A = this chain, B = another copy of it.
């Protein structure tokens, strides 16, 4: 089920990044769009229609789409205050405790991120929090209370005043418990493109936010792309990915378990092992077969591994590092004897997991860094969700008049070259040029 590739074959198959427009939508998704929106409507057009209607009609449109798409009639969207306590009461205390531990570790990690406002001789950069943030928490096939913690807490650490959460109706109690644990009171039962529209434009029931973060299904992603620029975004999430680099010292059962954990997210998820050790490769292959039958999501795992997964036999760890750097995986697990020197050879990865005790699942829940990490190769330019996503910089310019005068002459020179005579005039006035002050 987990094929072994040589490098050239892997580079044209599982290691090849697909470009925008090259990945077709699943048939089922297209059929769903056709059923709701009519023949020949693309997912992009469907999302555009949802956005437009929410912008113009507000709550009324939200109700209509929730009924048509999610099959629920909603009078109000906001989860009532009483539901949080009920949710907490309905869950096993050990789970509540685990979520609390996770929340504390996530908070403590993000509190260590420095907020480096500075000023020197009147010039500087000032960091201030974004005022209002919307967090999307997916429902879907596995409800993820961890996603709520991983998005909300970095925003709280940054000092965001108002955080609202949208999640599809009806939210799992664990999601409401996670909200209660981190003190979020505004949770709305809205999913898909309509949730993104509500947060981007505001309606009678929801305030317009300044920034939207969190991953969702393809409609969420298309909607985020369409409101990009109107609100800030954390990025566009693709299917999740783990790459493992392992040497002969790795435990094949553990490597197999880590690949299986990755694959169970989604048939589109990617789990790839790079190793120079053929014996390990074969042992991992066998361990995957052995472990699979007792996993509840084995059908999803099978689809994921067969379409996107595999083992790549590399010459040595240096070659593995080069391939990983080019692939720029969301998660990069270094299950090797000496992970740190290997990490130093690689620039592009959302998260580095050093050694086989720092396995990816710990990062999903409790290690501390946000599990919202850049996918689809965007680790080449993007970062895991972090405190800076919820801060913005203002440049500060407060110069001494003597220096300002000196620089005014320089500015006037460039302004004239750019043909901007009003710019030049503003500078020349500071040099005492005409028109002179009128007092």
Residues of A within 8 A of B (CB): 19-21, 52, 55, 91, 94-95, 97-99, 101-102, 105, 109, 112-114, 116, 118, 120, 122-123, 125-126, 128-131, 141-146, 174, 201, 210-211, 225, 227-232, 235-236, 251-254, 257-258, 260-261, 263-265, 283, 287, 290-291, 294-297, 301, 339-340, 343, 347-355, 357-370, 373-374, 376, 378-384, 386, 388, 392-401, 404-405, 407-408, 410-411, 413-415, 417-423, 425-427, 429-430, 435-439
Contact = CB atoms under 8 A, between A and B. Distances in A.
A421 B297 contact: yes
B382 A392 contact: yes
A21 B53 CA distance: 12
Nearest to A400: B357
A419 B142 contact: yes
22 contacts: A19-B230, A102-B414, A112-B120, A129-B347, A142-B420, A143-B419, A229-B378, A254-B426, A254-B437, A257-B422, A258-B426, A291-B435, A294-B425, A352-B394, A359-B430, A367-B399, A368-B397, A369-B397, A373-B395, A381-B392, A383-B394, A384-B395
Contacts of A355: 398
Contact of A423 (B210, B229, B361, B413): B361
Interface centre among A252, A354, A370, A392 (most CB of B within 10 A): A392
Contacts of A393: 383-384, 386, 388
A264 B421 CA distance: 8
A150 B131 CA distance: 28
Contact of A118 (B114, B232, B398, B405): B114
Given A357-B399, A394-B350, A397-B353, A210 B366 contact: no
A170 to B, nearest CB: 16
Nearest to A237: B229
Contacts of A361: 408, 411, 415, 423, 426-427
Given A362-B404, A362-B427, A422-B297, A395 B357 contact: no
Nearest to A109: B123
Nearest to A290: B435
Given A142-B419, A251-B439, A368-B397, 6 more contacts: A145-B414, A254-B429, A352-B396, A358-B404, A364-B415, A386-B393
Contacts of A125: 113, 369, 386
Contacts of A91: 417
A422 B352 contact: no
Given A365-B411, A407-B362, A352 B395 contact: yes
Contacts of A101: 407, 410
Contacts of A360: 426
A385 to B, nearest CB: 10
Nearest to A91: B417
Contact of A407 (B52, B201, B366, B413): B366
Nearest to A333: B397
